[in-house]
Structure formats: structure tokens, C-alpha cells
Structure 1
Amino acid sequence: MASREETLAAWRQQEQQVRARLAPAGVSSLDQLKAGSGMEFLQRIWDGLLPSVPIGETLDFIPVEGEPGRIVFQGTPDRRHYNPLGSVHGGYFCTLLDSAVGCAVHSMLPQGMGYTTLELKVNLVRALTDKSGPVRAEGRVIQVGKQVGIAEGRIVDVDGRLYAHATTTCLVFALP
């Protein structure tokens, strides 16, 4: 089992490698979205062939791992993300988890299909601060059908401490 320092170093190295591949933030076209499966679309973003996602730039988080049905985002919360009470705003948790669970659903979709979040249920377990260090939100699919996708997610730190968990229900639909 890796030590905390080894895990932290591996997470930071992986983040640097991914950041080096990402293209500047922007929005992909509908034609680019429809050009392949959900996983292929996500992979083209991660390979820098399509623009990276603007919300990731805004909140400073990126995808670090992905396979069909499982997507992981990593971010390091800092004081820019604070609420007036002196800890990271709940919107940071929600956005990070919505990205992980939504992309997990998207990764399972065939070409020509899209999704949107219908419901996101988030439980905040402990506060994040600028001292928390990098955290990861892992989304995992529970079920994806013709009209509905369901996934769950967790935010953890390098020590495996749980900060939040979520479930989502997504509407699956044919792209125009």
C-alpha cells in the first residue's frame, strides 16, 4: 500500500500530465458531440483534440481517469472557492460531483445520444478548505437505459477521507 506522500506525488504527477494535454477551454459543436460515442467524445477532450470544459477552468478541476462507466475528476480547492463562513462553498462539491457522475453516464452512451441531469442529490460529510489538498470525485454508473441513467459519486482526499457523496438521475435522449 502506498504511503500518503507517494499517493499525493502520484496524484500531482497525473494532474500535470493531463493538464499538458488539455486544449484551452471552449465549447464543442453539436457535430463534434455526435461524431462518436460518449466515451469517444470525452476521450477527445482529454486528448486535447476538443476544447477543455469551461467550468473546469473556472473551478480549477480536470478529468484524471476515465473508462466506460467510471470517471474521476481532480481539483484542489482554495480560498477562491470559499463561502463567507471560511470553508469551500457547497457549490464546489456539487459541481465536482455533477461532473463526475454526469460524465460517468455520458461515457456509457452510444453515438448520437446525449444526457442532462434531472436530479442531483449531494450529502456533504465534512468541510473542504484550502488545506485539504487535492481531492478526487469519482463517478460510477449504476444503470444506464434508453431514457434514464443513474450514477453515484464520492469526493475523497489522498488519505481516502470522504468529504461528500452523491447520486444522480440523468435523462438520456437522442441528439438533434
Structure 2
Amino acid sequence: MNPTTNREETLRQWQAREAEVRAKLAAPGVASMDDLKAGNGMDFLQRIWDGELPSVPIGETMDFIPVEGEPGRIVFQGTPGKQHYNPLGSVHGGYFCTLLDSAVGCAVHSVLPQGMGYTTLELKVNLIRALTEKTGPVRAEGKVIQVGNRIGIAEGRIVDADGKIYAHATTTCLVFPLP
């Protein structure tokens, strides 16, 4: 199979998955602390993805959604457009950072036991190449490296449908009991 056919098939799969997830998401909002405490981290994320809890407002603002997830690995997908551009004519670094912060942070969240929360302490992002409106959909995959009682570490990358990498990130998260 030639590379163009592979890309087209990957794009069809990605677009179909995005449509499937978007059809289930609830309107944006903020879940309650009781909802957050009701189960473990993966349970909470799954309830958002199943439309039982409000979808995340930043996802609507930046136009990206979660498309895959399992404990320790979370994938978000978005399509950069001109609304994400900086004055230089490419996608602003904040788009990269927000997409990656969501992926790596949720990867950490996905392995937390019931009653525990997290917050990002540090996010380091390496922008490898520019995103533009012509890039098409991209995915940010976050994977846990280690999560302990106080600290969680994860890494992530943004790739296009060809598997070309656009950015890499690492995060350190503070893990704490929910109030």
C-alpha cells in the first residue's frame, strides 16, 4: 500500500472516531467535587467521555476531544485552524501546550485511585515543527512514566496521520487527596 492510501485510511479512521466521540459528549461545564470523588481517575474520565458528566470547556475553546483512553494512556485529537494562529502565520505554541497538558495530565489522572486528584507542577514542551491549517487532524498521546503517592510523571507527543511528530512533552504532577 502506498503512503497516500495509508494516510487517507488513517484520516478516515480518525474522523470516524472523532464523530463517534463528539456524538456522546455532553455540553461543556465543570463536574462537581462529588462527581470527581465518586470513582477512580479512569472512571471519572470515562463518565465525561460517555456524556454522563459535562465535557471540558477548554476542549470546546481549543476544538479538541479525547478519542482513546485506558489507564496510563490517553489520546486527544484536534484539528488546528486559523483560529489557533499566532501573528507569524502558524499555530500558536499555546495550542501545542494545551493539547499536550491535557493528554499527559489525563494520563496521570487515569491511574489515580478514588479520592485522589492532581495538578500540573511542570510542563516542558519541545516544539519540533510548525502546525498549520493544512496539517489536518493531530493526536496528542499521553503516557504515564511513573505515578506514586505524591508525584506523577508522564510524557506525550503530538503526531499527524502520517505519524510525523510535531511536539514532545514531559510533565510532573502533584498528586494529593481531594478535599
* Length-normalised TM-score, structure 1: 0.99
Task: Report the equivalent of 1:117.
Answer: 120
Q: Superposition pairs for residues 15-164 of structure 1, below 5 Å?
A: 15-164=18-167
Identity %: 81
Structure 1 CA distance for aligned equivalents of residues 7 and 171 of structure 2: 30
Structure 2 CA distance for aligned equivalents of residues 84 and 117 of structure 1: 28
Identify unmatched segments of 5+ residues in structure 2. Answer: none
Deviations 1:13-54 (A, max 9, x none): 000000000000000000000000000000000000000000
Between the two proteins, the alignment pairs up a number of residues equal to 176
Deviations 1:130-153 (A, max 9, x none): 000000000000000000000000
Structure 2 CA distance for aligned equivalents of residues 54 and 7 of structure 1: 27
Structure 2 CA distance for aligned equivalents of residues 148 and 54 of structure 1: 26
Of 151, 161, 170, the match for 1:167: 170
**Could you tell me how far 1:154 is from its partner in structure 2?**
0.2
Identify unmatched segments of 5+ residues in structure 1. Answer: none
Structure 1 CA distance for aligned equivalents of residues 30 and 155 of structure 2: 26
- Residue type of the partner of 1:107? S
Structure 2 CA distance for aligned equivalents of residues 84 and 26 of structure 1: 30
**Could you tell me how far 1:3 is from its partner in structure 2?**
1.1
1:4 matched to 2:7? The reply is: yes
> What secondary structure sits across from 1:3 in the alignment?
helix
Stretches of 4+ moved more than 6 A in 1? Answer: none
- Residue type of the partner of 1:29? S
Structure 2 CA distance for aligned equivalents of residues 143 and 66 of structure 1: 17
